[in-house]
Amino acid sequence: MVIGYAAPMAETPRAPAHIRTLPSWLLGRAAARGHRLVGEALARVGLRMMHHAVLSAVAESGPLSQAELGRGLGIDRKDMVAILDDLQGEGLVTRAPDVTDRRKNAVAVTASGRRLLRRAVRLGDAANDELTAALSPAERAQLVDLLTRIVQPGEPCAAPPHGGR
């Protein structure tokens, strides 16, 4: 039972049309490219994306607990431990017991952490420029706006509504 098709398959190697119109698919592919670009850029200062995000959050919002960091960035607690182990091991952040709540670790950025972050920000920004090279500044701003509204469907997860007690 041979299907009698005479198809020069080499002509259309791509384009499943339907899937390419789905935001979920496009988001996945675009995120993969962004992850690759930014990952390669940050690797030049020995950082990974998540490490960069944590370092940036700590440097901006002062001493934070690991749980607060995880909620704010959407990182799992398991991974947060490993990330902070790495950052602390390289002297980029400090993990000190919180004085007011001994359950928490007060994560703070060090001087060298702030210094490295400055370089990482430059590299990350450059990678993002390359990622959005096909977009005009206005289009990029629009993309950021649209994505922000997709990521936060209702309220940010940092503030759960009153009810689940």
Partner DNA sequence: GTCCTATCGTTGGGAAACCCAACGGTTCGG
Partner DNA sequence: CCGAACCGTTGGGTTTCCCAACGATAGGAC
Q: Which of 28, 46, 91, 160 binds a second copy (CB under 8 A)?
A: 28
* By CB under 8 A, residue 125 contacts a second copy: yes
Q: Choose from DNA, a second copy, none: what does 132 bind? Cβ within 5-8 Å by kind.
A: a second copy
Measured in whole angstroms, the distance separating CA 109 from the mean position of its chain's CA atoms is 19
Quick check: helix, strand or coil at residue 104?
coil
* By CB under 8 A, residue 126 contacts a second copy: no
Following CA atoms 146, 137, 51, 100 in sequence, which dihedral angle do they give, to the nearest 10 degrees? -70
What are the distances in angstroms from CA 131 to CA 20, 35, 136, 165?
Answer: 19, 10, 12, 43
At 103, list the tokens.
């359950």
CB 109 within 8 A of CB 117: yes
* By CB under 8 A, residue 131 contacts a second copy: yes
* By CB under 7 A, residue 89 contacts DNA: no
* By CB under 7 A, residue 81 contacts DNA: yes
Cβ-based neighbour number of residue 96 at 10 Å: 11
Q: In sequence order, what are the beta bridge partners of 94?
A: 108
To a second copy, the closest distance from the beta carbon of 160 in angstroms equals 13
CB 92 within 8 A of CB 81: no
Quick check: helix, strand or coil at residue 108?
strand
Q: Which of 30, 37, 45, 48 binds DNA (CB under 7 A)?
A: 48
Within 93-152, the residues that bind DNA by CB under 7 A are 95, 100-105
* By CB under 7 A, residue 79 contacts DNA: yes
Would you give the binding string for a second copy spanning residues 70-109, x where CB under 8 A is met? -xxxx------------------------x--------x-
Closer residue to DNA (CB): 80 or 123: 80
Closer residue to DNA (CB): 142 or 150: 150
